[in-house]
Structure 1
């Protein structure tokens, strides 16, 4: 007999990203989500049902916190999010869910909500959801050590994990989180300087959030890809001041790879290496089109992209350096970057951004649910053969892949807004112009209202995965929750087919 819990149905959603003030929020379909939770609660009234929130339930990186992780302010931050009128209906539905017999709510840690590993935050969430109802409290389970959540549906073993465990940008240092939890329970604090975040967190806090105040949609792209960073630099030239930060962030990503490679492993532990020299090439931040723009323009004077970018950063605040550069007619620091953008593109900002997006979409399989992406490859390689259904999130990209031998992989996508750029949109400067106008406006409201060729720019796609016992066999489905969320989700892919 298995020691893992057993259910008739398991429903999994991921990457809800509750957080941020209005205008800074990337979750839109809040009422749909609340209604979907209510719908799940009504299934099989006499059966056993689990609802798994598979990571990034909150987005504390979108909150105004000191440093990279909320410690002393963790409880207040999570309390603010749960009380926010934009999200409070979701918490009411979750509270109603755990009051029902035969229901289980599982909350898995992600990389944007690491504070849920703290005992103080868990107590707050349990109190919000269940109050003093001991039976309701017993229906809430946290998975915050990186172990994921394992259960059975019928005779099939189901394993849920966020997916950042294999992501060198965004891995969690669970041992350090446990140390913070011990401090909080012991009435001690943590200085912001004591916490060194992963590369993805640094990218969001040091670079993306500033840009997001001007371009609210920017983190709907993938900040960890080189071409998206190129797009970021084209959109906001002032980010030249942070090039030095980008260098160390990418270096942290390379260093993080060594830890992420073992994150789902049970092998021996290794301390992080100190003072490791990390080879770095700025050109790979830009993407092929932007890089070629730099290297193909005569005004480079034979310098590489590395030389130009590093020189701009090194001399950004140096009057002496600018005097030495006088013969290049570059002028002020801002003009240096404006000229650098010109070197990169040889054209206007709209064309520069179009080229960056072309890099982003090169060999694009973003919305191909059959694509065996890196998360699929690394997670499935780390998970044992006894697991029949593997379910991840993290990438925001839904997947449904048959592994073989009666085993299946799902990524349950996201509930945040998604932007899909097509080759038709990016065909030339003229076709991209209306898209550019919307993007450069920057406001989320403008993005929400934008249409191209009669279709909304923001995709209406909120995803869920269900594993159910039906007629003596276990069936897995990738679905879209549609309409107001109160009805049967729309089936996208079913296993076994």
Structure 2
């Protein structure tokens, strides 16, 4: 007997991000997704087929919850997502899928759906999808401890993991999640002070969600780096009042890097030391293109704040920003950057997207390098998600790596768009409008601004060997996806 589940084929998707109220939702192709789930269910009627949801299936960070993680609210929050008309068709398609013989549905934990680790949430999902049908219930499996999901397809071994395990912004502390699950089962509350979120969660909840209320598209930009803060501050200068907190958030990445490197050595509910040094300054938050707008052309951001101190005789420039002594946040921002908002946003995006290889499918990004280094040579196919950036790479030792991309909207900023203020004008008008509907309708130089791209990975037994494909699901999802890359190629 094989030690891992055996399939004739598996299909992997990730980063669906079901969550948020209308106007706050970043998943668009809901009908297509339901159609794709039904299509997977029709493959190999007499064979064994797996559908693997490889993390960030739902998104509690987009929901109105108290604190950083839904604990007592977890079941109610997920029930709201399931019943939301925008997403209910997807849950119905999953319910139809698990009632088919020879099918298996696997939920892998991500960093936006960490509540999937709680037994109460797992029971809700199983009940919603399978009811009292014991056969259907047996076709649902959860991988929520950070171990990923391992299986075989034909003669190949496959390993699926979300990918945030190697991301210092967004790692999960699974020991903490297990402790929360124990408390929920035991009927004990969790003191909010016991849960210390990672840097990515803090950034979303403390800063991005507030900006997102006016600029709904901000969640669509990747990757998450400290350079993103410049864009956030340009869009909403009131965020400058939080600049001291932003420095500490980015400093959490250092703490996170240590936890990621140590991996299983972390103890539960450990918070950073209150006196831990944060090796960052304001310069670490604002990129060189944005700061180049300073009228004098000289001095770093910290020097600008020092100048602010001297002007008002205040000892702490960050406190000054926080209490508004320098005037309105917009005036502070204009004074610091020395350019208009349109040019400041263009420069901030240049910093955020510097050396951008978002849509290069064979780019060996950080997630590829770190995950492949952590996975042993016995694994033939590695599949991740998390970054929202689809990838298909042949590893030098003859193995293969895929990233299953995302199902949320994607925007692509070309060099021509960001070349100068004039070139950026058309894009700027769309972005400052802020509404998702305007983004969906926008055409830049005649082309849709939002890409029509929903990605999936399939690994299928063909002629005695396993063949992996990166694909794009199109139309209503009911037809065969378009092949983008195939391994082995022959």
Q: TM-score, normalised by structure 1?
A: 0.93
Residue 384 (1) aligns with residue 376 (2) = yes
CA drift of 1:194 comes to 1.9
Q: Which of residues 313, 316, 332 is equivalent to 2:327? A: 332
**100 and 356 in structure 1: CA distance in 2 versus 1, 3 angstrom threshold:** same
CA drift of 1:160 comes to 0.2
Secondary structure of the corresponding residue to residue 354 of structure 2:
coil
1:404 is matched with which residue? Answer: 396
1:289 is matched with which residue? Answer: 289
CA drift of 1:426 comes to 1.1
1:493 is matched with which residue? Answer: 485
CA drift of 1:366 comes to 0.9
Q: Deviations over 1:395-444 (max 9, x none)?
A: 00000011023200000000000111001111111111111011001000
Map of 1:417-456 to 2, 5 A cutoff?
417-456=409-448
Q: Distance in 2 between matches of 1:389 and 1:294?
A: 49
Q: Deviations over 1:239-270 (max 9, x none)?
A: 0111121111111111011111233xx6x556
Structure 1 stretches lacking a partner, 5+ long: 323-330
2:109/2:162 contact within 8 Å kept = yes
Secondary structure of the corresponding residue to residue 459 of structure 2:
strand
**317 and 370 in structure 1: CA distance in 2 versus 1, 3 angstrom threshold:** closer
Q: TM-score, normalised by structure 2?
A: 0.94
2:49 is matched with which residue? Answer: 49
Q: Deviations over 1:50-80 (max 9, x none)?
A: 0000000010000000000001110000000
CA drift of 1:229 comes to 1.4
CA drift of 1:286 comes to 1.3
Q: Deviations over 1:273-319 (max 9, x none)?
A: 63422211221211121133349536x69962564699543113558
Residue 341 (1) aligns with residue 334 (2) = yes
Residue 79 (1) aligns with residue 79 (2) = yes
CA drift of 1:2 comes to 2.6
Q: Distance in 2 between matches of 1:303 and 1:453?
A: 39
**226 and 467 in structure 1: CA distance in 2 versus 1, 3 angstrom threshold:** same
1:149 is matched with which residue? Answer: 149
1:162 is matched with which residue? Answer: 162
> Over aligned residue pairs, what C-alpha RMSD do you find?
1.9
Q: Distance in 1 between matches of 2:2 and 2:305?
A: 56
Map of 1:10-409 to 2, 5 A cutoff?
10-222=10-222, 224-263=224-263, 268=265, 274=273, 275-294=275-294, 296-297=296-297, 304-305=303-304, 307=306, 311-316=316-321, 322=325, 332-334=327-329, 337-344=330-337, 346-409=338-401
Q: Distance in 2 between matches of 1:429 and 1:248?
A: 32
Q: Deviations over 1:6-39 (max 9, x none)?
A: 0000100000000000000000000000000000
1:240/1:312 contact within 8 Å kept = no
Q: Distance in 2 between matches of 1:304 and 1:415?
A: 43
**269 and 59 in structure 1: CA distance in 2 versus 1, 3 angstrom threshold:** closer
**301 and 241 in structure 1: CA distance in 2 versus 1, 3 angstrom threshold:** closer
Q: Distance in 2 between matches of 1:309 and 1:423?
A: 35
**434 and 3 in structure 1: CA distance in 2 versus 1, 3 angstrom threshold:** same
2:283/2:301 contact within 8 Å kept = no
1:401/1:409 contact within 8 Å kept = yes
1:234/1:341 contact within 8 Å kept = no
Following superposition, which runs of at least 4 residues in structure 1 exceed 6 angstroms of deviation?
none
**17 and 305 in structure 1: CA distance in 2 versus 1, 3 angstrom threshold:** farther
Secondary structure of the corresponding residue to residue 316 of structure 1:
helix
Number of aligned pairs?
480
**123 and 65 in structure 1: CA distance in 2 versus 1, 3 angstrom threshold:** same
My pick for the range that moved more, 86-95 or 245-254, is: 245-254
Secondary structure of the corresponding residue to residue 285 of structure 2:
helix
1:479/1:492 contact within 8 Å kept = yes
Q: Deviations over 1:129-154 (max 9, x none)?
A: 00001110010000000000000001
**390 and 317 in structure 1: CA distance in 2 versus 1, 3 angstrom threshold:** closer
CA drift of 1:356 comes to 1.2
1:158/1:390 contact within 8 Å kept = yes
1:55/1:108 contact within 8 Å kept = yes
**446 and 482 in structure 1: CA distance in 2 versus 1, 3 angstrom threshold:** same
Structure 2 stretches lacking a partner, 5+ long: 310-315
Q: Distance in 2 between matches of 1:107 and 1:118?
A: 13
1:18/1:87 contact within 8 Å kept = yes
Q: Distance in 2 between matches of 1:403 and 1:490?
A: 23
Q: Distance in 2 between matches of 1:339 and 1:63?
A: 32
Q: Distance in 2 between matches of 1:153 and 1:93?
A: 24
